[in-house]
Structure 1
Amino acid sequence: MAERVFITGMGMITAIGDNVAGNLEQLRAKRSGLGFTDYIDTIYKNILPVGEVKHPNEALFAKAGVSVREGYTRTTLLGLIAMQEAFRQAGISDVQQAPTGFINASTVGGMCDTEKVYFDIINPDKTGSFLRYIDTLDCADCTQRIADIVGFTEHIATISTACSSSANALMFGARMIRQGMLPRMVCGGTEALTRFTLNGFNSLKNVDKQFCRPFDQQRTGLNLGEGAAYLVLESESFARANNSCILAELSGYCNTNEAFHPTSPSPDGDGAYEAMRTALAMSGRSLEEVDYINVHGTATLNNDVSEGKALERMFGTNVPLFSSTKPFTGHTLAAAGAIEAIYAVLAIQNRLIFPNLNFSEKMEELNISPVTELIEDHPVNNVISNSFGFGGNNASLVISKYEG
């Protein structure tokens, strides 16, 4: 029989907080981290809102506890900060004390630095130190740099499946644990804001010039964000032998790929429906036992219709309480799945349902609407956390209250 997978440590940094406690405080206060960028040199600087971590790179080096050095991009630094908090909570002082794998997710890698010297790099007449940035571009560069500092030597991998990346990292780590390959995995993702992603999403005409409004009739697009989050996953036998503090259980998960379109989901939510249905079946929980859904909820025209139809298809007229937390953090792309998995654990631990900010009008295509106010002292035992990426890469996690 496959082992249960427990969450024993969490760490994060986002536009609303430098750690898990800071994020929870801002979620409870209904305080968004959206605003305009201080650090990206872009023509959209004061036009397109983003969810930016309000620390320059020099401050991030200090927070990460490493000296300022070449090759350590903003993406790497955000990841190191989140990783260190996850280790502290899990009581890991030396990762070498037990076999531990590392699954990291990113879509931009070191692009936040390489794009600054792009025109120098492509100019055949130019030479100079800017060439050193080329090595950081690969998504796996930040993975290896984090692994080198932390001390991972077992399985190390990088996943890049757009917005579902870190949810897939968690899924991959859980599968390795359940198959007995490693007793402990650290999984999540890190993402920095870049001109490339801002321009790219804007070219698709799905970036809102106002603060995003998921599941709202008047929504016009997303706001991009940055951040990092990691969760420590342990097998049941390892967690018990290690006397670990168990925060929650990753009880079910599923990835589906409908391959409907490079950038749009199936209009009827086929992939989203199948991901949620199969993840819930794996968890052993019933439809009625789902207390909250942290939806993908990007506030783009196609995504919210597709996900909403999948919810109605799965739950009928009894769709559980649901909300998107992206109006707090912005859409952090590869890091979103891990960030929102931590929010799912916080909802369970603190008996909270987080509000869907900026909502005003129900979508005409749906019969359902998100939660718009913070709900406190509400029993939350099982949460579905959705992350749906480009190309129809759909990931759903079921996170459950730990029952010994």
Structure 2
Amino acid sequence: MSTTVSIVSISSFSPLGSSTKEVWNNYSDTATLMHDYKLGEKIIPVAALTIKQREQADALKTFDTKYNSLDNSVLYSILASRMAVENAGWTENDVFGINIGSSRGATDLFEKHHSEFLETGKTGIQASPATTLGNISSWVAQDLKNSGPEISHSITCSTALHALLNGVAWLRAGMADKFLVGGSEAPLTPFTVAQMQAMKIYSSLKGEYPCRAFDFEKKANTMVLGEGAASACLEPGKKSNALAYIDGIGYATETLKHSVSISNDAECMQKSMLMALKDTPLEEVDAIVMHAPGTVKGDLSEYTAVQKIFGENMPLLTTNKWKVGHTFGASGLLSLEFAVLMLQNNHFIGVPYINRFPTQDKPLRKILVNAVGFGGNAVSVLISR
């Protein structure tokens, strides 16, 4: 079945803001949201939530003491999902599926529980239930008082778009008539940053843009971590209240030659884009929101894949990593939100330090969104208005 699926709402909780208006205003500003951040003994660039947002997440623990044991990855997702469901007009009487994933899960809590174990040989009663990946969707369901199916997963940086694929599959199969999909990540911990630095992909740049995503003249990797969550409400068919329609989905996995990188021409992304495009004429695709993590090889391989698919029909190209950093499992849905907002406002937002590509000269009607992660797995989603 190839039933069109409507995105009836999409909301996020990230450094971009906590409302659609805030998010769009931030995208319309050419300043990055990254700043120096003290993490353990290190000072590094990150895209972190504001103090007000952290207080908002902490306030959930006051709302219900059961939330005291939850990791920030769960709290962020609860806040994003509440907004998405409210904006969709779904109520407690609606039964819907939930699939919200995370690349790392409860990283901060896991590190704390493990540290306690190393010091004492014991761990708290909540150590296991509070650090499982399934914790995110199950607690979002508890918070929304929903009795539908709950799914959580980790497929590295394409996690959130894999959640969307799964939601679309359930809807097209007739197994659900509403689905909440998303991703959440709270990776600003010493151990997580150390892992990225060990791979030599974390940015050491100073200046206006610590992450030089999509800049092919950079000489070093410039990935910067961000945190946050995003959730979208999906319904089958062309709904009158749709923000955008999902016209095509694609996915692929390639055989890896290296555990943390894809091929030079990103074979998996070529396949996922072709699957999502299906019979769509190339000239109808107005823009692509690239995954573009800010690494030398990752950015270039994706661009090469786009060149091989589109040739002379090259659409407008952009990414949001320079603005909000790499949010791992949440990044795909934040990219989708970016695409939806550009469609709604009929305004393309490029990368401020890149001027080698064309600018908008016609209305935006179709945008392709890409994500790829460790493991050589890629997802592409084609949306329209």
Please say whether Structure 1 and Structure 2 have the same fold, judged by a TM-score greater than 0.5: yes
Q: Alpha-carbon deviation of 1:262?
A: 2.0
Q: Do residues 395 (structure 1) and 379 (structure 2) align? A: yes
> Structure 1, residues 295-340: CA drift from partner, whole Å, max 9, x if none?
0011111111210110110111331110111111110000011111
Alignment of 1:129-278 (within 5 A): 130=124, 132-193=126-187, 194-210=189-205, 211-216=210-215, 217-218=217-218, 219-236=220-237, 239=239, 245-260=241-256, 261-278=258-275
Using the TM superposition, name which of 183-192 and 146-155 deviates more.
146-155
Residue equivalent to 2:78: 80
Report the count of equivalent residues. 375
What is the rounded CA distance, in whole Å, between the counterparts of 1:309 and 1:386 in structure 2?
A: 14
Q: Note if contact 1:3-1:235 (Cα within 8 Å) is conserved in structure 2.
A: yes
Give the CA RMSD over aligned residues. Answer: 2.1
Q: Do residues 280 (structure 1) and 277 (structure 2) align? A: yes
Alignment of 1:333-344 (within 5 A): 333-344=328-339
Q: Alpha-carbon deviation of 1:27?
A: 0.4
Gaps of 5+ in 1: 361-368
What is the rounded CA distance, in whole Å, between the counterparts of 2:110 and 2:316 in structure 1?
A: 42
Query: Could you say what secondary structure the match of 1:162 adopts?
Result: coil
State the percentage of identical aligned residues. Answer: 26
Alignment of 1:235-384 (within 5 A): 235-236=236-237, 239=239, 245-260=241-256, 261-281=258-278, 284-359=279-354, 369-370=356-357, 378-384=362-368
> Structure 1, residues 361-385: CA drift from partner, whole Å, max 9, x if none?
xxxxxxxx456x8x5x851110010
Q: Note if contact 2:101-2:136 (Cα within 8 Å) is conserved in structure 1.
A: no
Using the TM superposition, name which of 183-192 and 53-62 deviates more.
53-62
What is the rounded CA distance, in whole Å, between the counterparts of 2:167 and 2:175 in structure 1?
A: 10
Using the TM superposition, name which of 63-72 and 383-392 deviates more.
63-72
Residue equivalent to 2:112: 116
Q: Alpha-carbon deviation of 1:395?
A: 0.6
Gaps of 5+ in 2: none
- What letter matches 2:140 in structure 1? I
Residue equivalent to 2:37: 37
> Structure 1, residues 180-238: CA drift from partner, whole Å, max 9, x if none?
1111100011111232321111110001122111121115221011110011000117x
- What letter matches 1:340 in structure 2? S
Q: 1:153 to 1:269 in 2, by over 3 A?
A: same
Q: 1:231 to 1:65 in 2, by over 3 A?
A: farther
- What letter matches 2:106 in structure 1? G
Q: Alpha-carbon deviation of 1:42?
A: 2.1
What is the rounded CA distance, in whole Å, between the counterparts of 2:326 and 2:352 in structure 1?
A: 14
What is the rounded CA distance, in whole Å, between the counterparts of 1:234 and 1:349 in structure 2?
A: 18
- What letter matches 2:274 in structure 1? R
- What letter matches 1:299 in structure 2? G
Q: Alpha-carbon deviation of 1:81?
A: 0.9
Query: Could you say what secondary structure the match of 2:291 adopts?
Result: coil
- What letter matches 1:400 in structure 2? S
What is the rounded CA distance, in whole Å, between the counterparts of 2:22 and 2:329 in structure 1?
A: 21
Q: Alpha-carbon deviation of 1:66?
A: 2.7
Query: Could you say what secondary structure the match of 2:73 adopts?
Result: helix
- What letter matches 1:20 in structure 2? T
Q: 1:37 to 1:117 in 2, by over 3 A?
A: farther
Q: Note if contact 2:57-2:75 (Cα within 8 Å) is conserved in structure 1.
A: yes
Q: Alpha-carbon deviation of 1:64?
A: 8.6
What is the rounded CA distance, in whole Å, between the counterparts of 1:32 and 1:378 in structure 2?
A: 27
Query: Could you say what secondary structure the match of 1:307 adopts?
Result: helix
Q: Alpha-carbon deviation of 1:268?
A: 1.7
TM-score, structure 2 as length reference: 0.91
TM-score, structure 1 as length reference: 0.87
What is the rounded CA distance, in whole Å, between the counterparts of 1:317 and 1:252 in structure 2?
A: 22
Q: Alpha-carbon deviation of 1:88?
A: 1.7
Residue equivalent to 2:94: 98
